[in-house]
C-alpha cells in the first residue's frame, strides 16, 4: 500500500467517492474509468484515491485492487441479486441487499433473490420502503460489530439469509462456525432501512461507534454482538 498522496484533497476524494456511489446506484456498475480520470487528473491519481478511500473504509478492495464492496453495493456476487424495474444490482450481504431499495431514490419495489446457504433452496423477497416482507426466513450474522472491519469481505460474505433456524443450525454445524446473531426479516428490514442514509451524497459521514450502537438498539438488535449491554431474558419487555 502506498502512503497517502497529499495532493489528493478531501474535496477531490469526495468527488471520486460520490462518482463511484452515484454510478453504482444508478446502473449497478462502477463508473467508466475515463470519468474517474477526468475527476482525479490521471489514472495514477485515480488508483491512489481509490486506495486512500479504501483506507477510510469508503469501500473494500479485492485482490486486484479494484472496488469489490462499496456498501451496500458489490461488484461481484456475494449471493444476492437486487432487481428493480430498471436496474440490476449485486447486493453485498443480506443486510446490504435489503438496504438498496431504501437507499436508491425512487427505485420502487425490488426483488431480492439468493439461495439458502444450508440447503440451497432458492429464496426470494419483494422488498420496498413501506413495510418489511413477511416470511419465516431468518438472517444469521457471523462476525460481531467490534470485528466487522478485520476482514470486511469475510464479514459481508457471512451475513446470510436462511430458510429458518434449522437451516442456520445445519450450516453452523457444517462450517464449524460459532453461533453469531439471528434475526427475523422484519428486524433485518428495519436494520437496513436507514443505515446507509446519505451515502450517495457529498459530505457523508460514517456513524461514530456510539451513534451506531444507538441505531442498533433502535431497530431492535440486542446484546454484546452489537456492542450493547446484555439483557437478561426475563427483563426484556416484548
Q: Which stretch binds Zn ion (CB under 5 A): 17-25, 54-62, 161-169, 199-207?
A: 161-169
**Least distance in Å: CB of 120 to Zn ion?**
7
Please, what is the Cα angle at 103 between 221 and 219, to 5 degrees?
A: 15
Residue 67 binds Zn ion, judged by CB under 5 A? no
40-54 in b/e burial notation, b at 16+ Cβ within 10 A?
Answer: beeeebbbbbbbbbb
Residue 167 binds Zn ion, judged by CB under 5 A? yes
Q: What are phi and psi of 209, to 5 degrees?
A: -50, -40
Q: Between 167 and 221, name the residue whose CB sits nearer to Zn ion.
A: 167
Find the binding residues for Zn ion in span 207-236 (CB under 5 A): none
**Least distance in Å: CB of 31 to Zn ion?**
21
What is the Cα–Cα distance from 135 to 105, expressed in whole angstroms?
Answer: 26
Residue 93 binds Zn ion, judged by CB under 5 A? yes
- Considering only 24, 46, 60, 96, the residue that binds Zn ion (CB under 5 A) is 96
Q: Between 23 and 157, name the residue whose CB sits nearer to Zn ion.
A: 157
What is the Cα–Cα distance from 28 to 90, expressed in whole angstroms?
Answer: 7
Find the binding residues for Zn ion in span 102-121 (CB under 5 A): 116, 118-119, 121
The β-bridge partners of 155 are none
User: Which residue has 479485492 as its cell numbers?
Assistant: 62
**Least distance in Å: CB of 115 to Zn ion?**
8
**Number of residues lying near Zn ion (CB under 5 A):** 10
Find the binding residues for Zn ion in span 28-57 (CB under 5 A): none
The β-bridge partners of 140 are 160, 182
H helices, E strands: number in the chain: 8, 10
Which grid coordinates belong to 231?
A: 439483557
- Considering only 92, 101, 114, 132, the residue that binds Zn ion (CB under 5 A) is 92
Q: Between 45 and 181, name the residue whose CB sits nearer to Zn ion.
A: 181
What is the Cα–Cα distance from 81 to 28, expressed in whole angstroms?
Answer: 10
**Least distance in Å: CB of 200 to Zn ion?**
17
User: Which residue has 450493547 as its cell numbers?
Assistant: 228
> By the criterion CB under 5 A, which residues form the site for Zn ion?
92-93, 96, 116, 118-119, 121, 156, 163, 167
Amino acid at each position: 500500500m502506498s502512503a497517502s498522496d497529499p495532493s489528493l484533497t478531501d474535496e477531490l476524494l469526495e468527488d471520486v467517492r460520490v462518482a463511484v456511489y452515484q454510478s453504482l446506484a444508478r446502473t449497478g456498475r462502477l463508473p467508466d474509468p475515463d470519468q474517474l480520470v477526468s475527476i482525479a487528473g490521471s489514472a495514477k491519481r485515480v488508483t491512489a484515491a481509490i486506495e486512500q478511500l479504501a483506507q477510510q473504509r469508503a469501500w473494500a478492495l479485492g485482490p486486484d485492487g479494484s472496488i469489490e464492496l462499496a456498501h451496500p453495493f458489490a461488484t461481484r456476487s456475494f449471493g444476492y441479486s437486487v432487481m428493480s424495474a430498471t436496474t440490476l444490482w449485486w447486493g453485498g450481504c443480506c443486510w446490504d441487499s435489503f438496504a438498496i431499495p431504501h437507499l436508491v431514490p425512487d427505485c420502487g419495489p425490488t426483488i431480492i433473490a439468493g439461495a439458502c446457504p444450508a440447503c440451497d433452496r432458492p429464496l426470494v423477497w419483494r422488498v420496498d420502503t413501506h413495510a418489511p416482507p413477511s416470511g419465516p426466513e431468518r438472517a444469521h450474522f457471523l462476525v460481531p460489530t467490534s470485528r466487522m472491519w478485520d476482514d470486511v469481505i469475510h464479514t459481508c460474505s457471512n451475513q446470510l439469509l436462511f430458510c429458518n433456524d434449522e437451516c442456520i443450525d445445519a450450516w453452523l454445524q457444517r462450517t464449524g462456525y460459532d453461533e453469531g446473531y439471528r434475526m427475523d426479516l422484519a428486524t433485518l428490514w428495519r436494520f437496513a432501512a436507514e443505515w446507509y442514509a446519505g451515502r450517495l451524497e457529498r459530505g457523508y459521514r460514517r456513524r461514530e461507534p456510539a451513534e451506531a450502537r444507538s441505531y442498533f438498539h433502535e431497530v431492535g438488535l440486542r446484546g454484546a454482538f452489537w456492542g450493547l449491554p446484555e439483557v437478561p431474558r426475563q427483563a426484556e419487555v416484548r
